Amino acid sequence: MKECLNLITERRSITFFDPTKEVPEEVIKEILEVSATAPSGYNIQPWEVIVVKDKEKKRRLKEICYGQQKVEDASANIVFIANTKAGFEHVDKVLDSWIDLGYVPAENRDMLREKILEGWKDKEKAKRKAIRDCAFFGMTVMIAARAYGLETHPMEGFDEEALKEFLSIDKDKIVIMVLAIGYKHPEKKLFPRAYRFKFEEFGKIV
């Protein structure tokens, strides 16, 4: 338990990455697959990623991220994309799996399909669902990365339009975050963690 808590509480947004240390592609893929066990509404998994690892492409991505140096220094950057059409695109695979595994009888398929898609027809609802689930996935990646001895830095500071054009991302999809991933620079020190609100400030038990 302590180990898991440490992975959470010792995570920081690492500003200084070691530009000389590479994370193998296989490790990044493994972290992403482990993290894809994150939960999602009706198991629709409305997330996609593009991993930017190539040096030249990282340089262009840095410009799109308003010059944030960590983008270039990190071994890679994972672009998290919320797919607002995932309900329609993934529903059949989800239902196949449920029926194969015996979660639901085959005769309930059409009724369930309709019920699941109901939540994806309205554009605003679909956006909220896709962003919410994609964010769970993103947080899981940050924690899983630490279990592999890696550090991360989430970023919302990017020009979404330019990023979509650069990576040919569909206009209906939403880029929720760029996540730098790599090893911390051994000589750079981070500031201590800044103030976190206490339970009494953000919660109540009723």
Pattern 134-153, binding to ligand FMN, x per CB under 6 A? --------------------
Nearest CA to 51 among 37, 30, 67, 68? 30
Least distance to ligand FMN from the beta carbon of 124, Å? 20
Does 188 bind ligand FMN (CB under 6 A)? Our answer is: no
Rounded Cα distance, 8 and 185, in Å? 20
Tokens representing residue 83 in the block = 């797919």
DSSP letters along 55-105, please?
HHHHHHHHHHTTT-HHHHHSSEEEEEEE-TTHHHHHHHHHHHHHHHHTSS-
Instruction: Identify the residue among 29, 59, 115, 193 touching ligand FMN (CB under 6 A).
Output: 193
Nearer to ligand FMN, 87 or 154 (CB): 154
CB 117 within 8 A of CB 91: yes
Rounded Cα distance, 171 and 168, in Å? 9
Residues 151-180 that bind ligand FMN (CB under 6 A): 154-157, 177
Least distance to ligand FMN from the beta carbon of 106, Å? 41
Nearer to ligand FMN, 31 or 94 (CB): 31
Q: Which residue has the tokens 């554009």?
A: 123
Least distance to ligand FMN from the beta carbon of 51, Å? 18
Nearest-CB residue for ligand FMN: 157
Does 69 bind ligand FMN (CB under 6 A)? Our answer is: no
Nearest CA to 61 among 165, 166, 155? 166
Residues 25-44 that bind ligand FMN (CB under 6 A): none
Give the residues lining the site for ligand FMN (CB under 6 A): 12-13, 68, 154-157, 177, 193-194
